[in-house]
Structure 1
């Protein structure tokens, strides 16, 4: 697990570098906004038991991840992740065995001033198969003030989100529970 964690953190830095360059920013801009070398990260193992009536339950209801990015290593035997695309739920099936699925989280949406969008997703259960997945959350440090990056804010593209620490944002969303993308979207200013 320690080796896996190191490799995912290395991969997270590469993604943030690519995202920064794509936004026209210095390559370490997003990594610095996350806290530099000291990011917040955690690994969670998810177990979804089989369910005789899968249409009556969800493994995890609709939400977007509050952090920066989620690296998901899904079960090889059966998929369960679905993303919302054009108001439809679409099952995500890895193209290769052991492929990692990367979801953009709310903090990247805020930092990019909504250029990048967090992914609304849910997890469904399977009638005949149980499932295990590993989700690695690559997040800003708790005390980092997250707000649209100043380089992306202009008179034509004003800041869409108020400054808030990552810890404050997590407390904010915990009071309401999973609600699709309602929580991050509710922070948008209506200028």
Structure 2
């Protein structure tokens, strides 16, 4: 029963991600399927569902559940623990704890959308804190481009006055970069910034 529910949940959230990608594409003034094409096509994108368990810690100020980072993929949809807050997002130089809303999902933009949109959309820098008295569980679905697709700013968003800000990189190479360096804020996506380039996809 649990397996069937999990599979059904994963399928429905994947459909939600497909609609969100279309909406993001249209909001950029692009064809509805433009970003999906850049990700490798609807039947080629990858979706992975992961359960996260953060045990209680008597001295939560001494540890993090997950260090500061932005998600490497396209979109992350989180079903949070409604009893225990733990997700924090960066605002300026500080952190804001995200309060859970009953029956609501949390949607984070990932680095690949930031790159494709040429910085119009920003990926969300976030971290996870632990609680002193309660365990915390969350369920995250990661919606990612095809591994061998080269991701760079969409050509329709570029002009002489708005050149490409990011160097193209294959998604599997980008994930490897993150695995080698570990979570470190937005350093990975910022490392792709370039002063002047006309690379297009």
TM-score, normalisation: structure 2: 0.92
Q: Which string of whole-angstrom CA distances, capped at 9 and with x for unpartnered residues, describes residues 60-103 of structure 1?
A: 000000000100001121110000011110000123x1311000
State how 1:42-61 maps to structure 2 within 5 Å.
42-61=48-67
SS of 2:64's equivalent? Answer: coil
Pair 1:154 & 2:194 matched: no
d(CA) in 2 for partners of 1:77 and 1:106?
29
Structure 1: 5+ residue stretches without partners = none
Match in the other structure for 1:125: 130
Q: Which string of whole-angstrom CA distances, capped at 9 and with x for unpartnered residues, describes residues 102-146 of structure 1?
A: 000000000000100000000000000001100100010101110
Aligned length: 190
Deviation at 1:5, TM superposition (A): 1.1
State how 1:21-170 maps to structure 2 within 5 Å.
21-37=26-42, 38-95=44-101, 97-170=102-175
- Answer yes or no: is the 8 Å Cα contact 2:81–2:100 preserved in 1: no
SS of 1:190's equivalent? Answer: strand
- Answer yes or no: is the 8 Å Cα contact 2:146–2:171 preserved in 1: yes
Q: 2:181 aligns with which of 151, 159, 176?
A: 176
Provide runs of 4+ in structure 1 moved above 4 Å. none
TM-score, normalisation: structure 1: 0.97
SS of 1:107's equivalent? Answer: helix
Pair 1:9 & 2:14 matched: yes
